[in-house]
Structure 1
Amino acid sequence: MNDSVVGGVGGAAVRAVDVVVIGAGQAGLSAAFHLRRVGLEPDRDFVVLDHAPRPGGAWQFRWPSLTYGKVHGMHALPGMELTGADPARPSSEVIGAYFDAYEETFGLRVHRPVDVRAVREGEGGRLRVETSEGVYATRALINATGTWDRPFWPRYPGQETFRGVQLHTARYPGPEAFAGKRVIVVGGGASATQHLLEIADHAAATTWVTRREPVFREGPFGEAEGRAAVALVEERVRQGLPPRSVVSVTGLPLNDALRAGIADGVLDRQPMFERITPTGAVWADGRTVEADVILWATGFRPAIDHLAPLRLRGPGGGIRMEGTRALLDERVHLVGYGPSASTIGANRAGRAAVNELRRLLAREEERAGEPVTV
C-alpha cells in the first residue's frame, strides 16, 4: 500500500492514504505505533496530524505546579518506558520530552501544527479530511483528539454580571496568581481538589462548590475495580450517550493530601449556588459568598466537532460505539474517547483500533483484487 495524489476541486491536490490519525496525545501516538507494527509506513500509508505546537498532547498545557510526582496513573506508551523522571519537574516538561523522544524513536513524523476542519464523505468510498495543510482522502480514520480543547463552562443566572475573574482549569495559572484573593472553586473532580489544596496556601479565602456530594474512595483500586469502572463508561457510549469520565464513576481516591484538606476545612464542600452576583454568589437559602475569582474545574467534552458532517451522533447526543468503532461507520475509530480516556485505556484502544482497521483494509483489498499487504 502507498499513498498517491489525486485530483481535487479547483485544481487542489488531494493526497490519498490508508489511515489518517487525528491527534498526537497518548491515544494518537499509541495508534501510530501499532500502525507501524503491522507494516504501515508514516507519510506513505498513514499520516498523524496534530494541531498542538509541539509534542506532549494535552500535557504540554498543564499548569506549572502540576509536577510529575503529582500525576495520577501515568502509563508509558507502548514499546518505550518513561524512566528517570524528576518528580519535582513540571509534568508538562517531563511528558512533553517523553512524547518528543517517542515520536523520534519510532519515526512517527507527526505533522504539526495542523488544524482538521472537517471530515466528510469523499469519493470512491474514502473519507475526505479537510485540514489547514491540505486535503486527505483516506480509507480509514483514527480520531484521537481528546477533550482538552473543549473545556465545559456551566451557565448560571447572573454569570455575565460578575466583576471579578472567571477562568477554567484549562487556563489555570498556578496558585500564586490567587494570592490575597477570595476564590470559589466549582467542580467535584481531581482537578478541583488539587486546585483547592494549592490555592488555600495563598488565597484570602476559598469556597468549594459541587453539584453532587463528592465521593471519596478508601482502599486499593486494583485491576478488577478498574475494569468495572471502565465498563460503566463503555456502556454509556454503546448506548450513544455522551461519555462520562472514568473518575466520575470511581470517586476520588483518598490520599494524605486529601485527608489533610478535609481535616483543615479546605475541602469543606458546599452545595451549588443558585446564581452569581457582581461580587460573588448567592445560595437558595439566601446565604452569600463574596469572591474575586470563580475557578470552573468543571471538566471537558470530547473535541469531535470536525466529525459532524459524518452524522455519527445519535439521539442521546453521543456517538454509539462498539469498542473503538463508530457503529454508523466502520471506517471511523475513536480512541481516547469515553472508556479509553485514560493513559492505559488509550494504549489499549490504539492497539484495538489498528487491529480492526487492519482487517477492514485487508477485506477491501481482497474485494478489489489487490495484493493484501497489511
Structure 2
Amino acid sequence: MSHRTQVVVIGGGQAGLAAGYHLRRLGLDFVILDAQTTPGGAWQHAWDSLRLFSPAAYSSLPGRLMPPQSGETYPDVQHVVEYLADYEKRYELPVERAVRVLGVHRDGGLLRVETDSGTWHARASISATGTWWRPFIPNIPGQATFEGRQLHTAAYRSPANFAGQRVIVVGGGNSGAQIAADLAHDTRLTWVTQRPPRFLADNIDGRALFDAATARRRALDEGHTDTGGVASLGDIVAVPPVREARDRGLLKAAPMFSRLTRGGVEWADGTCAEADAVIWCTGFRPALSHLAPLQLRGRRGHIATTRTRAVDEPRLHLLGYGDWTGPASATLIGVGRPARDASREIAQLVRA
C-alpha cells in the first residue's frame, strides 16, 4: 500500500511528538510512524526505579505542562509514559502503530519511506528514533569467556532479579550511578568507572543542565569560547536515591578492569573480583540504520547537520539525538525548541 503526505516523522517518542505538535500548529499534513505497539517511546522500556532529573513542570513538551506526580518531586517512568500518551491524544497526533521503517530513499523530488506496512512518499522527513534501540557495549578482552550474565542498561529492570548476587556495574554516568544505587542494598556490588565519578552539586537538576547546554550552544553559534556545557558541571545528577546511596558510603567506585575472566573480572595489577553478572551502563548510539539508503554518513559514521537539517539531504531533519541536533534535544524539556525550528524549516520547504 502506498501513501502520500507532506511530512513523515519516524519515531513516536518524545521527539516525534514534539515535532508533531509544531507541524500541526503550522497546518502541515503529516504522519508519525512508530515501531512501538503502545505510546510512551523508550520510557516504557526503562528500569522500574528510574526517575526524571527535574520536577514535572521542568520536564514538559511544548504546549502542555507535565502535571506533578502525587508525593514525588521527580516523576517516575510510569508517570512519564502516561504523560506522553495523554499528550498524543490531547493534540490528536496522527501516530501509526506498530510500523517499523525499513529505509528512507530518494525518489525524484520526494523521499520514499519504506516500512513493513507499506510505502510513504513525502516532501520531507524527520528522523526521531532516539538511541535506546542501539545500546553500546565496549569491546573488552575476555567477554566471550565470562560464564555469568551480561546485560546492558536497556535490559535492566529491577534489583529483585539480582538479589544476593555479585554484580559489577560498569559506567560512570547517570544510568551507571542510578543502577548502582538501585543494586547497592541487596547485592554484593562493585561499581566500576573509567574515571573517578563526578557528582553534580546536590542542588543541580535538569533545569540547570538545560540552561548550561543552551548557553553552550549560544556561545558556539556566536563564535565565543566553548563554555563546556553540561560536561563542565559533572557527570552524575544526585537524584535522591543516588544521593542516599552515596551519603551512606555505598557508591565507592573502582577503576575500570582490564579484562573479564570465566568467573569475574581482573584489573591490570592482577587483582580479581568474582561476579555473577556484569551490567554495562555504557551508553547508546543513534539508531539511524533506516537512513542508510541515503548514504549520508561521513568517515566516522556521523551524519553532518546544520542544526537539525542533514547537510547532504535538506529534506531530512534529525531530532532528539543529543546536542549535535539541538541543545539538550534528547531530553523532554530540551526537544521543543529544535522541534519548532525543524518544523518551520520544513514548512518553508514544502510551501516553496
TM over 0.5: yes
Aligned mates of 1:220, 1:102 — CA distance in 2: 27
Mapped pair 1:92 → 2:77? yes
Aligned mates of 1:299, 1:126 — CA distance in 2: 34
* Residues 169 and 176, structure 2, Cα contact 8 Å, conserved in 1: yes
After superposition, give the CA deviation of every residue in 1:159-197 in whole Å (9 maximum; x if it has no partner): 111111111111112111111100100001111111111
- Where does residue 9 of structure 2 map in the other structure? 21
Aligned mates of 2:239, 2:6 — CA distance in 1: 46
For residue 295 of structure 1, give the secondary structure of its aligned residue in structure 2: strand
Mapped pair 1:349 → 2:341? no
* Residues 11 and 35, structure 2, Cα contact 8 Å, conserved in 1: yes
Aligned mates of 1:331, 1:226 — CA distance in 2: 28
* Residues 209 and 230, structure 2, Cα contact 8 Å, conserved in 1: no
Equivalent pairs counted in the alignment come to 333
Structure 1 residues 165 and 64 mapped into 2: Cα distance closer, same or farther (>3 Å)? same
1:229 to 193, 213, 225: 213
TM-score scaled to structure 1, two decimals? 0.83
**1:321 corresponds to which letter in structure 2?**
T
- Where does residue 225 of structure 2 map in the other structure? none
- Where does residue 162 of structure 1 map in the other structure? 146
- Where does residue 298 of structure 1 map in the other structure? 282
Aligned mates of 1:260, 1:117 — CA distance in 2: 44
* Residues 232 and 249, structure 1, Cα contact 8 Å, conserved in 2: no
**Which 10-residue stretch deviates more, 343-352 or 216-225?**
216-225
1:289 to 257, 273, 280: 273
User: How far is 1:320 from its partner?
Assistant: 1.3
For residue 161 of structure 2, give the secondary structure of its aligned residue in structure 1: helix
Aligned mates of 1:356, 1:341 — CA distance in 2: 20
For residue 335 of structure 2, give the secondary structure of its aligned residue in structure 1: helix
* Residues 234 and 338, structure 1, Cα contact 8 Å, conserved in 2: no
Aligned mates of 2:86, 2:239 — CA distance in 1: 32
- Where does residue 127 of structure 1 map in the other structure? 111
| Runs (5+) with no aligned partner, structure 2 | 221-228, 324-328
Instruction: Point out the structure with max Rg over C-alpha.
Output: 1
After superposition, give the CA deviation of every residue in 1:66-117 in whole Å (9 maximum; x if it has no partner): 2xxx321362122222224235698332222222222221111210111000
- Where does residue 48 of structure 1 map in the other structure? 32
**1:333 corresponds to which letter in structure 2?**
H
| Runs (5+) with no aligned partner, structure 1 | 1-12, 237-245, 364-374
For residue 119 of structure 2, give the secondary structure of its aligned residue in structure 1: strand
Aligned mates of 2:61, 2:259 — CA distance in 1: 44
- Where does residue 108 of structure 1 map in the other structure? 93
For residue 15 of structure 2, give the secondary structure of its aligned residue in structure 1: helix
Identity of aligned residues (%): 47
TM-score scaled to structure 2, two decimals? 0.87
Mapped pair 1:202 → 2:186? yes
Aligned mates of 2:264, 2:279 — CA distance in 1: 12
After superposition, give the CA deviation of every residue in 1:299-329 in whole Å (9 maximum; x if it has no partner): 1111111101111112232111111111111
